[in-house]
C-alpha cells in the first residue's frame, strides 16, 4: 500500500519513509563519526553544542529505521483530495500508529510514530508538554531530518517554505535545550 500511495509528486509514501531514514542516518553518521554529509543541510548551532546529549538519548538504530521508514504507514488509509486537488492525510499519525502496532512489536517506534507530527506542529507555549513525551529529542532530530528530506517538495533549502519550517525547528530546539539546562 505505501508504495502505491503518492506522498508528493513522483514520490510514494514508502519512498518518503526511506528518504527520511537516509537523511537521519546521514546526520547520525556525521555526528557519530564525522563522516562528510551526503545531503545539503542547514544545521542549527544546538546540533553541535548538544551532540552528546542528542546521541545518548536516541533509541537503537533498528528502532530508528522502523520508525522513519514506517512513520506514515497509515497515509494510504487517510488520503483525501481537496477541491483544489491537493492531497491531505487527516489523522495519519494516529492511523499509522495503530497499523504499525499491529504489524510490529516495537513499542518505542510505535510511540514515536504516534507523536511524529508533534514537532512539526509545536508552538512555543507547548514545549514543556512536548518534553514530557518519551524520546522527545528523537522526535526533534527526526523532524529536522524530515524537513530536509522534504526540502525539494518545498522548492529546495532556499525556498520560503523550507526557511519557515527550519526556523521553527531551530527555535523549538533552542527552547528545549534551554529548558533542559534550567533543570
Residue 134 scores a pLDDT above 80:
yes
The predicted structure's pLDDT at residue 94: 95
Say whether pLDDT at 1 is over 90. no
Residue corresponding to grid cell 509545536: 122
pLDDT tens by residue, 23-41: 999 999 999 999 999 999 9
DSSP 37: P
Pairwise CA distance, residues 60 & 180, whole Å:
22
Distance of alpha carbon 164 from alpha carbon 177, whole angstroms: 20
pLDDT at residue 26, rounded to an integer? 98
pLDDT at 126 over 80: yes
The residues near 160 (Cβ < 8 Å, ≥ 6 apart) are: none
pLDDT, residue 159, reads 87
pLDDT score, position 12: 92
**pLDDT band of 157, cuts 50, 70, 90:** confident
pLDDT score, position 8: 81
76-108 tens-digit pLDDT = 999 898 898 888 898 999 999 999 999 999 999
Amino acid at each position: 500500500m505505501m508504495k502505491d500511495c503518492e506522498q508528493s509528486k513522483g514520490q510514494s509514501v514508502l519512498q518518503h519513509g526511506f528518504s527520511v531514514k537516509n537523511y537521519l542516518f546521514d546526520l547520525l553518521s556525521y555526528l557519530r563519526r564525522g563522516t562528510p554529509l551526503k545531503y545539503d543541510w542547514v544545521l542549527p548551532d544546538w546540533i553541535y553544542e548538544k551532540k552528546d546529549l542528542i546521541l545518548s538519548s536516541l533509541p537503537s538504530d533498528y528502532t530508528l529505521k522502523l520508525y522513519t521508514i514506517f512513520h506514515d504507514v497509515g497515509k494510504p488509509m487517510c488520503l483525501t483530495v481537496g477541491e483544489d486537488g491537493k492531497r491531505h492525510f487527516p489523522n495519519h499519525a494516529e492511523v499509522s500508529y495503530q497499523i504499525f502496532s499491529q504489524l510490529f512489536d516495537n513499542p518505542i517506534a510505535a510511540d514515536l510514530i504516534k507523536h511524529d507530527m508533534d514537532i512539526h506542529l509545536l508552538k512555543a507555549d507547548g514545549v514543556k508538554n512536548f518534553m514530557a513525551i518519551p524520546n522527545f529529542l528523537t522526535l526533534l532530530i527526526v523532524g529536522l531530518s524530515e524537513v530536509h528530506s522534504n526540502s525539494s517538495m518545498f522548492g529546495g533549502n532556499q525556498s520560503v517554505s523550507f526557511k519557515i519550517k527550519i526556523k521553527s525547528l531551530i527555535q523549538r530546539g533552542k527552547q528545549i535545550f534551554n529548558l533542559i539546562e534550567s533543570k
